[in-house]
């Protein structure tokens, strides 16, 4: 099973009622403590270690203090984000606090109102849609599943 | 430094991100992620599952045009080789040892290195 | 002292690098038909490209990710793939126009057939991409492109009625002989010539080539904010020359020799020679940038190793893509299409494709996960939203206007 198989799969309730589609797959990434960035961080250049080493390390330091970057280990599946429609472009606004540039986030949020998180334990079956007329991948939720808020922690 | 797990959404934070090797050399993009159960068994709905590998190349074709290819034969990068997640997925290994990068190696050895100057360092002549 | 020199060099190359075959042809055509009445579009375009280029440069310097990596990451494989196909095609059209421009300029200088110059130009572009260091390539083309200042010199030598030129420009008063649809069609074309998507691919990837960090952002801002407006003045001078000489004579521009006619008239052979060298440098520089952009876009979408700072063998597929793009461009020109017509096409389609690159950059420039503390400020975002509207309106209007006016004729 691949993440790409789950994305855009139809989501069915325990009784087979269509609920929407899988918008995203939520994972928990193990993070490691790491005082030093170590070698190789960024878009770094080969073949020039000798002459421009110093500049390189400055480069790395300047960058890593800006964008988020973690040392990571294993990635465990936590659950599925279920939305009313395919995520399409610029997905993710409904799960973050970003509000600018107006009006892009506002429009995307409107399109994805009603997205919720379902725990992986509450997924009863994943069907690959190989059977005739099944119409692609689908996911069936277990009885008593909970609709959790979709925000990223 | 961050403690505890970092919560990410696959499509938002991983898929289509640039993959860099340990020297910062671009390798590929994350075209798909393979899920596996405990001890490498087939992943099952509702059962513990983790990301086992980054799939590259043909995985992009199936995601673009649909259809299925046997996952086991797709070029892959083991998730164990991943070191950091930032604006790119950074590996802890060199791309030279990765089978997933074979097309680049093929074009390099069969075509580009055979054109005079193919190994010339443009930054060297100053 | 060294810093002052570096800053001056950056600004000068930005001026010289601003004008390409698209600006040259479109401004001359517009000047010869509409006088100075479309100068306001150049102003809108210059402010737009300043905003867009500085935003793209900042995103790349801070996040380490170039434009098409971001487009792929934000839009996903399918929408970004469609975007890639469109961007690559338009970029190829621009590359074709630039190589054609080199050949036409060399033809003017030598009276050797353009057809013979085309493969020579293509080969020369490839050799520079294959061998020459990025910064040297940038600086030489940019500095020699400054010779286009000859158009401004010619304008002064022509001694025009400045009051009349100003009256045509503010408020914009198009000649009564032209249809309003044609006027707006050329407005879109001029906008597309000033804000070409390849410039953004090139600026963001250039930030990686030149290894910018967050610290280089202020230099970048000065280069762009000083260099581009001065480059825009060159564009206006080209249009003004055409407005002074070609408009009264009723000459509609259809060849490069007509574009430089005012220069020859005002400054004689010497000034003409300098301007032709300037045109060769400007189109050659733009050909390099568009050829690189074709490699940048494909490589970044697919995650390949790319960049001129690498040995060709270490970015093999990137170099192969550029070779293929150059061969395609030369091949198209050898079918004896008119490079001027290709140029006019390319600027209009640039306007059509602009939202595809503009919107993802604007979105990521606001994402703290990429930008940390360097997200867009309020002023930039307000301006960004205004240009979002302008860019989308121009893109939507371009094709209908093209059909309605029969491509401006």
pLDDT-based confidence at A43, cuts 50/70/90? very low
Q: What region, left, alpha or beta, does residue A112 occupy, with left being phi > 0 and alpha being psi -120 to 50 degrees? A: alpha
Measure the CA–CA gap between C26 and C33, rounded to whole angstroms. 11
State the helix-helix crossing angle for C339-364 and C67-110, rounded to 10 degrees: 160
Identify the structural domains of chain B with CATH numbers, from first to last. Answer: 10-114 (2.30.30.240)
C-chain CB neighbours of B16 within 8 Å are 72-73, 76-77, 80
Please report the pLDDT score of residue A48 as a whole number. Answer: 37
- Whole-angstrom distance, CA of residue A110 vs CA of residue B37: 36
Work out the mean pLDDT of chain A and round it to a whole number.
Answer: 76
Predicted pLDDT at C262: 96
pLDDT of residue A61: 41
Q: Check pLDDT > 60 for residue A89.
A: no
C302 touches chain B (CB under 8 A): yes
In 3D space, the residue among A102, C287, C305, A143 whose CA is nearest the CA of residue B88 turns out to be C305
Nearest-angstrom CA–CA distance, C189 and C184: 9
* Contact between A67 and C371 using a beta-carbon 8 Å cutoff: yes
C314 vs B56: CB contact, 8 Å cut-off?
Answer: no
pLDDT band with cut points at 50, 70 and 90 for residue C267: very high
Asked if A94 and A113 count as a contact pair (C-beta separation under 8 A), the reply is yes
Tell me how crowded residue C34 is: count the other CB atoms within 10 A of its CB. 26
Residue-level pLDDT at A64: 42
pLDDT at C344: 92
Residues B126 and B122: their CA atoms lie apart, in Å, by 9
Reported as a pLDDT band with limits 50, 70 and 90, residue A51 is: very low
Question: Can you tell me the distance from the alpha carbon of C293 to that of C91, in angstroms, rounded to the nearest whole number?
Answer: 7
| pLDDT higher at A52 or B107 | B107
The predicted model gives C62-88 an average pLDDT of 91
Domain CATH code at residue C258:
1.10.4160.10
Distance to chain B for C63, nearest Cα, Å: 6
Mean pLDDT score of chain C, rounded to an integer? 93
Structure tokens at A37: 């960035």
Higher pLDDT, C173 or C83: C83
Q: By mean pLDDT, which of A59-68, C205-214, C287-296 is the weakest? A: A59-68
ipTM of this predicted structure: 0.92
* Residues from chain C contacting residue B67 (CB–CB below 8 Å): none
For residue C171, the enclosing domain spans 2-405
Cα–Cα distance measured from residue C234 to residue B17, given in angstroms and rounded to the nearest whole number:
40
* pLDDT band of A134, cuts 50, 70, 90: low
Region C326-353 average pLDDT:
94
pLDDT band at A45 (very low <50, low <70, confident <90, very high): very low
pLDDT of residue A153: 66
Q: What is the pLDDT of residue A147?
A: 95
Q: Counting Cβ atoms within 10 Å, is residue A64 exposed (0-12), middle (13-18) or buried (19+)?
A: middle
Cβ distance B104 to C317 less than 8 Å, yes or no, reads yes
Q: Which of C340, C393, C23 is nearest to C195 (CA)?
A: C23
Name which residue leads in pLDDT, C370 or B1. C370
Cα–Cα nearest to C191, from C27, C37, C361: C27
pLDDT at B42 over 80: yes
3-state SS class at A76: strand
How many interface pairs between A and B have CB atoms less than 8 angstroms apart? 163
pLDDT in the model for residue B54: 95
Cα distances (angstroms) measured from residue A31 to each of A150, A153, C47: 22, 15, 44
Q: Which of A42, A67, A101 sits opposite C384 (nearest CB)?
A: A101
Q: How does residue A55 score in pLDDT terms, banded at 50, 70 and 90?
A: very low
Q: In A36-47, which positions are buried (b, 16+ CB within 10 angstroms) versus exposed (e)?
A: ebeebbbbbbeb
CB contact under 8 A, C371 and A55: no
Measured CA to CA, the distance from residue C267 to residue C264 in angstroms comes to 5
The pLDDT of residue A60? 44
Is residue B107 scored above 60 in pLDDT?
Answer: yes
Summarised one tens digit per residue, pLDDT across range C133-167 is 998 998 999 999 999 999 999 999 999 999 999 99
How big is chain C, counted in residues? 409
Model confidence at C255: pLDDT above 90: yes
Answer whether residue C184 shows pLDDT above 70.
Answer: yes
Least confident of A101-115, C82-96, C294-308: A101-115
**Cα B15 to Cα B10: distance, rounded to the nearest angstrom:** 6
The pLDDT score that the predictor gives to residue A63 is 44
CB pairs under 8 A between B and C: 96
Overall average pLDDT of the C284-302 stretch: 96
Give the DSSP letter of residue B96: G
Q: Give the count of domains, chain C.
A: 1
| 8 Å CB contact between C309 and B123 | yes
The confidence score (pLDDT) of residue B14 equals 94
Alpha helices by DSSP H, listed for C211-338, are: 217-241, 247-249, 256-259, 261-302, 316-334
Q: What is the per-residue pLDDT for A92?
A: 60
pLDDT at A118 over 90: yes
Cross-strand pairs, B109: none
Task: DSSP letter for B15, please.
Answer: T
Q: Which residue has the tokens 């299409």?
A: C337
All structural domains of chain A, each given as residue ranges with its CATH number in brackets, are 3-28+78-141 (2.30.30.240)
Structure tokens at C302: 């697919």
Please count the other Cβ atoms lying within 10 Å of the Cβ belonging to residue B114: 10
The rounded percent of chain C whose pLDDT value lies above 90 is 76
In the prediction, which pLDDT does C407 show? 83
Question: Which chains sit next to C, with 3 or more Cβ pairs under 8 A?
Answer: A, B
Beta strands in B22-79 (DSSP E): 26-29, 32-36, 50-55, 76-78
């Amino acid at each position: 099973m691949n993440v790409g198989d789950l994305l855009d799969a139809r989501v069915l309730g325990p009784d087979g009622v269509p609920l929407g589609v899988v918008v995203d797959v939520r994972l928990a990434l193990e993070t490691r403590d790491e005082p030093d960035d170590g070698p190789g961080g960024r878009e770094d250049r080969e073949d020039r270690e000798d002459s421009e080493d110093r500049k390189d390390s400055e480069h790395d330091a300047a960058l890593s203090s800006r964008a988020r970057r973690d040392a990571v280990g294993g990635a465990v599946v936590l659950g599925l984000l279920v939305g009313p429609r395919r995520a399409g472009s610029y997905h993710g606004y409904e799960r973050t606090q970003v509000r600018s540039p107006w009006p892009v986030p506002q429009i995307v949020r409107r399109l994805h109102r009603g997205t919720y998180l379902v725990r992986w334990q509450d997924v009863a079956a994943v069907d690959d849609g190989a059977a005739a007329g099944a119409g692609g991948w689908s996911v069936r939720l277990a009885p008593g599943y909970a609709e959790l808020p979709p925000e990223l922690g | 430094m961050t403690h505890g797990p970092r919560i990410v959404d696959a499509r938002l934070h991983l898929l289509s991100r640039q993959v860099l090797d340990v020297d910062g050399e671009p390798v590929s993009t994350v075209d798909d992620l393979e899920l596996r159960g405990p001890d490498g068994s087939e992943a099952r709905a509702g059962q513990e599952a983790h990301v086992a590998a980054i799939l590259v190349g043909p995985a992009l074709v199936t995601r673009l045009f649909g259809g299925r290819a046997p996952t086991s034969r797709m070029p892959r990068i083991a998730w164990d080789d991943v070191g950091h997640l930032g604006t790119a997925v950074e590996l802890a290994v060199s791309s030279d040892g990765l089978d997933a990068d074979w097309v680049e190696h093929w074009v390099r050895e069969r075509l580009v290195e055979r054109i005079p100057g193919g190994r010339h360092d443009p930054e060297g002549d100053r | 002292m060294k810093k002052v020199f570096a800053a001056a060099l950056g600004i000068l190359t930005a001026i010289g690098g601003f004008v390409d075959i698209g600006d040259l042809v479109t401004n001359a055509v517009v000047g010869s038909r509409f006088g100075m009445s479309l100068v306001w579009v150049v102003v809108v375009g210059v402010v737009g490209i300043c905003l867009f280029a500085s935003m793209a440069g900042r995103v790349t310097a801070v996040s380490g990710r170039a434009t098409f990596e971001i487009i792929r990451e934000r839009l996903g494989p399918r929408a970004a793939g469609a975007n890639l196909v469109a961007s690559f095609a338009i970029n190829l059209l621009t590359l074709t126009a630039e190589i054609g421009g080199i050949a036409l300029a060399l033809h003017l200088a030598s009276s050797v057939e353009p057809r013979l110059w085309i493969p020579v130009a293509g080969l020369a572009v490839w050799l520079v991409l294959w061998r020459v260091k990025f910064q040297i390539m940038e600086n030489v083309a940019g500095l020699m492109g400054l010779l286009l200042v000859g158009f401004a010199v010619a304008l002064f030598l022509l001694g025009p009625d400045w009051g009349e030129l100003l009256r045509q420009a503010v408020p914009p008063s198009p000649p009564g002989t032209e249809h309003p649809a044609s006027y707006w069609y050329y407005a879109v074309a001029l906008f597309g010539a000033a804000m070409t998507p390849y410039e953004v691919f090139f600026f963001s990837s250039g930030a990686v080539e030149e290894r910018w960090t967050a610290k280089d952002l202020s230099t970048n801002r000065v280069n762009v904010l000083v260099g581009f407006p001065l480059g825009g003045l060159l564009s206006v001078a080209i249009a003004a020359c055409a407005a002074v000489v070609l408009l009264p004579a009723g000459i509609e521009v259809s060849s490069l020799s007509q574009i430089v006619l005012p220069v020859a008239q005002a400054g004689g052979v010497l000034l003409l020679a300098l301007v032709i060298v300037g045109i060769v440098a400007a189109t050659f520089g733009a050909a390099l940038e568009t050829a690189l952009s074709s490699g940048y876009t494909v490589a970044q979408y697919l995650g390949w190793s790319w960049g001129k700072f690498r040995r060709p063998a270490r970015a093999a597929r990137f170099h192969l893509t550029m070779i293929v793009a150059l061969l395609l461009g030369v091949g198209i020109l050898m079918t004896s299409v008119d490079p001027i017509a290709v140029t006019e096409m390319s600027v209009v389609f640039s306007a059509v494709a602009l939202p595809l690159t503009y919107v993802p950059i604007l979105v990521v420039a606001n994402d703290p996960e990429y930008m940390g503390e360097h997200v867009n400020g309020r002023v930039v975002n307000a301006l960004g939203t205004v240009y979002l509207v302008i860019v989308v309106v121009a893109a939507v209007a371009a094709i209908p206007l093209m059909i309605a006016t029969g491509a401006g004729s």
